[in-house]
């Protein structure tokens, strides 16, 4: 067979393949891949020309002539050009199809898992969110030893390597910076020798609802992992029980992580000689509501202890928990975990580097030694000092150091409480801020501070002022609340919406602990929630009314009323909106034994008798009507717990129920 015959046979075979593909709707879509039909037409045209040349009786002779050789070369070149265009177009089409499949998967998982985006280390922080979440890698040259230990553990593929690394230490010791650095290390700046990649992460924060709820952790980690591991995503999609997102952590871990991972493991092993390995990072479990962090970690440890999850490793940070340490020590499979306390000596060197960069005028001075000694190995202590000094001159800073930080160094060294030094700093900041106030002026400012820390939602100084009344039953001026915020700039700040937040959970821990904050600054949390409960009902009784949004007709649907949002904003001010959404939260946190619970019961009864329907209407306008039923049930539960609920009040709870 000569060269022309071989070309004819090859081109013909390609045409047969294309014709079959064009006839199969599974492999051909004219809208997505028009290049296939174009390539087929080119092959048909050029094959006809080759065949014509072959049929000429003197083909072998004329083929020696340059003219005929050029004609054949041109035909083959056109075929080759068409093939290149076809391959390029098909490659682009395949890329688009794969991208579309990935987007479909992403949307499917997002709809079914409802993962937290703020909890992801890659979440883009804008404006004051950078201060709110305060995520940052470790400063260059710091935490090297512990970072290298974690990286070595994560990359260790030996069977003896632990599945979970638990980094714990006191509040403010820099655990979150380490976790953030590790997460970025294994996803953004990974090393060529890494044997593992970041599979999922969850950075807890009390500042936002979605980052302080334990129910969001597993669903978010699973969402991340499914986007990284195709076999796990496929297993999750077909076998995951997505209804368990409304259940506890153990059910979520079992039905959304353990079982789908087991099913995907066999697929990974069959498809690759080196199955994928994934690291899961969970930071600051102590930031979760109530005891959610400790309970979640205990559940996670139990699940890992009960199930083999090859290919998965967990890196977790939290505060020290001696009871949990003792519990883990009882595990028979010791290789499952690694406990690592933050080394004070290493932290001391890193804090020195931070202070010298922030307060360079004290470098190599006696004041730097005093600051280091006072910080006591707590990053948050050093950071609070730096923020406090921001509004003081170097001379004022030096005076503060020698007056308040150096005189008690012996007592500091003798203390066994890791947070003792931080407590001293918080106490001094509060003393300096409120030292010039006595009587009602002091009481009003302290109540404002306590309200900043006790509200269910992050609130503005304006809302806090509207919720509170002074001892003479007058409303507290918003300027006073702004003044408190200004005086406590070292521990409080505002976000883009002027909502007030604290820099670190250790400050609220200090305020709510009577032993640590003493009687002068201590917040009786239960008692203050009673004050806020009464405040919410006072605001609602004054503001709720029939047809509060002035809707002209009951026959108009809300979505057809173009001016409704502006009227809602005008007639339901922020303080009334907060009170309507959160009165049951404060009520549920009141102590069960209180001398004034009868007055609260009376307030609730009057509310159910006179205002409950107006409240339901307001909640509907605020687009949170679904909260009405659980709030009423919580109120009924509290009332039943603290006192006998008479038949009338009980009936009113039941009568309100059908309207929600």
Question: Which residues of the chain fall below pLDDT 70?
Answer: 1-37, 39-40, 43-44, 46-47, 50, 52-69, 71-72, 76, 79, 81-106, 125-134, 266-275, 332-346, 407-419, 470-473, 592-597, 643-660
Torsion of CA 646, 651, 653, 659, to 10 degrees: -170
Q: Are residues 404 and 421 in the same domain?
A: no
Q: Are residues 280 and 230 in the same domain?
A: yes
Q: Are residues 222 and 321 in the same domain?
A: yes
Q: Are residues 267 and 395 in the same domain?
A: no
Distance CA 630, CA 145 (A): 50
Three-state DSSP string of 242-286: HHHHHCCHHHHHHHHHHHHHHHHHHHHHHHCCCCCCEEEEEECHH
48 inside domain: yes
Q: Are residues 135 and 209 in the same domain?
A: yes
Distance CA 563, CA 565 (A): 6
Number of helices (H), then strands (E), belonging to the chain: the values are: 31, 7
**What would the two tokens of residue 549 be?**
């949004």
Q: Are residues 646 and 564 in the same domain?
A: yes
Radius of gyration of the chain (CA): 34
195 inside domain: yes
Q: Are residues 136 and 224 in the same domain?
A: yes
- Report how many domains make up the chain: 5
Q: What's the confidence (pLDDT) of residue 155?
A: 93
* Chain segment 37-48, per-residue pLDDT in tens: 676 677 667 667
Question: How would you class 537 by CB atoms within 10 Å of its CB: exposed for 0-12, middle for 13-18, buried for 19 or more?
Answer: buried
Report the relative pairing of strands 337-341 and 164-168 from DSSP bridges: parallel
CB 211 within 8 A of CB 118: yes
- Listed residues 82, 112, 142: the one ending a domain: 112
CB 508 within 8 A of CB 453: yes
Q: Are residues 357 and 334 in the same domain?
A: no
117 inside domain: no
123 inside domain: no
Q: What's the confidence (pLDDT) of residue 23?
A: 61
Q: Are residues 312 and 178 in the same domain?
A: yes
Distance CA 633, CA 490 (A): 40
Q: What's the confidence (pLDDT) of residue 416?
A: 39
**What would the two tokens of residue 357 be?**
């960069």
Q: Are residues 402 and 426 in the same domain?
A: no
- Listed residues 499, 523, 547: the one ending a domain: 523
Q: What's the confidence (pLDDT) of residue 496?
A: 73
Q: Are residues 246 and 301 in the same domain?
A: yes
122 inside domain: no
Q: What's the confidence (pLDDT) of residue 413?
A: 46
**Domain encompassing residue 399:** 347-410
118 inside domain: no
Q: What is the CATH number of the domain that holds 272?
A: 3.40.50.300
Smallest CA-to-CA distance from 150 within 343, 418, 321 is with: 343
Distance CA 654, CA 660 (A): 11
Q: Are residues 158 and 288 in the same domain?
A: yes
Q: What's the confidence (pLDDT) of residue 300?
A: 92
- Listed residues 342, 362, 393: the one ending a domain: 342
620 inside domain: yes
CB 470 within 8 A of CB 479: no
286 inside domain: yes
């Amino acid at each position: 067979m000569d060269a022309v015959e071989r070309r004819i046979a090859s081109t013909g075979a390609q045409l047969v393949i294309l014709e079959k593909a064009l006839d199969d709707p599974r492999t051909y879509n004219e809208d997505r891949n028009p290049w296939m039909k174009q390539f087929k037409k080119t092959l048909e045209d050029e094959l006809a020309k080759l065949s014509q040349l072959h049929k000429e009786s003197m083909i072998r002779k004329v083929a020696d002539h340059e003219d005929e050789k050029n004609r054949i070369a041109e035909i083959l070149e056109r075929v080759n050009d068409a093939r290149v265009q076809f391959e390029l177009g098909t490659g682009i089409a395949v890329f688009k199809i794969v991208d579309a499949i990935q987007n479909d998967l992403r949307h499917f998982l997002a709809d079914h898992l409802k993962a937290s985006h703020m909890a992801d280390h890659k979440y883009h922080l804008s404006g004051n969110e950078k201060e709110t979440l305060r995520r940052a890698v470790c400063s260059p040259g710091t935490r090297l030893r512990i970072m290298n230990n974690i990286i070595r553990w994560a990359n260790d593929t030996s069977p003896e390597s632990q599945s979970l690394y638990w980094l714990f230490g006191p509040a403010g010791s820099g655990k979150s910076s380490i976790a953030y650095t590790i997460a970025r290390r294994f996803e953004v700046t990974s090393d060529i020798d890494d044997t593992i990649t970041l599979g999922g992460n969850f950075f807890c924060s009390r500042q936002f609802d979605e980052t302080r709820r334990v129910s969001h952790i597993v669903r978010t980690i699973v969402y991340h992992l499914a986007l990284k591991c195709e076999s796990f995503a496929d297993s999750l999609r077909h076998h995951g029980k997505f209804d368990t997102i409304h259940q506890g952590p153990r059910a979520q871990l079992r039905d959304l992580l353990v079982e789908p991972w087991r099913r995907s493991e066999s697929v990974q092993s069959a498809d690759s000689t080196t199955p994928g390995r994934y690291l899961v990072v969970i930071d600051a479990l102590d930031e979760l509501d109530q005891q959610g962090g400790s309970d979640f970690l205990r559940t996670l440890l139990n699940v890992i202890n009960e199930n083999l999850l090859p290919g998965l490793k967990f890196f977790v940070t939290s505060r020290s928990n001696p009871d949990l340490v003792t519990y883990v020590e009882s595990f028979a499979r010791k290789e499952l975990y690694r406990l690592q306390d933050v080394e004070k000596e290493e932290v001391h060197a890193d804090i020195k580097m931070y202070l010298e960069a922030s307060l360079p005028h004290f470098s190599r001075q006696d004041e730097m030694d005093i600051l280091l000694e006072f910080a006591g190995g707590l990053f948050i202590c050093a950071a609070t000092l730096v923020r406090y000094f921001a509004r003081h001159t170097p001379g004022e800073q030096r005076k503060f150091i020698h007056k308040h930080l150096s005189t008690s160094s012996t007592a500091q060294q003798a203390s066994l409480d890791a947070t003792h030094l931080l407590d001293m700093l918080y106490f001094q900041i509060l003393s300096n801020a409120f030292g010039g106030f006595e009587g009602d002026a002091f009481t009003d400012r302290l109540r404002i501070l306590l309200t900043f820390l006790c509200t269910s939602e992050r609130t503005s100084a304006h809302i806090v002022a509207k919720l509170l009344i002074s001892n003479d039953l007058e409303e507290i001026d918003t300027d006073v609340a702004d003044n408190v915020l200004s005086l406590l700039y070292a521990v409080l700040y505002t976000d883009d919406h002027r909502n007030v937040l604290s820099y670190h959970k250790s400050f609220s821990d200090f305020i709510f602990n009577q032993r640590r904050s003493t009687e002068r600054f201590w917040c009786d949390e239960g008692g203050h929630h009673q004050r806020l409960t009464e405040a919410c009902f006072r605001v609602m009784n004054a503001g709720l009314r029939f047809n509060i949004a002035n809707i002209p007709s009951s026959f108009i649907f809300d979505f057809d009323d173009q001016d409704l949002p502006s009227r809602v904003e005008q007639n339901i001010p922020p303080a009334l909106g907060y009170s309507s959404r959160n009165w049951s939260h404060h009520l549920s946190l009141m102590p069960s034994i209180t001398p004034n619970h009868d007055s609260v019961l009376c307030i609730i009864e009057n509310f159910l008798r006179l205002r409950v329907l107006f409240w339901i209407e307001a909640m509907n306008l605020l687009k949170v009507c679904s909260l009405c039923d659980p709030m009423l049930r919580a109120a009924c539960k509290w009332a039943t717990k603290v006192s006998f609920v008479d038949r009338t009040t009980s009936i009113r709870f039941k009568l309100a129920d059908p309207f929600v």
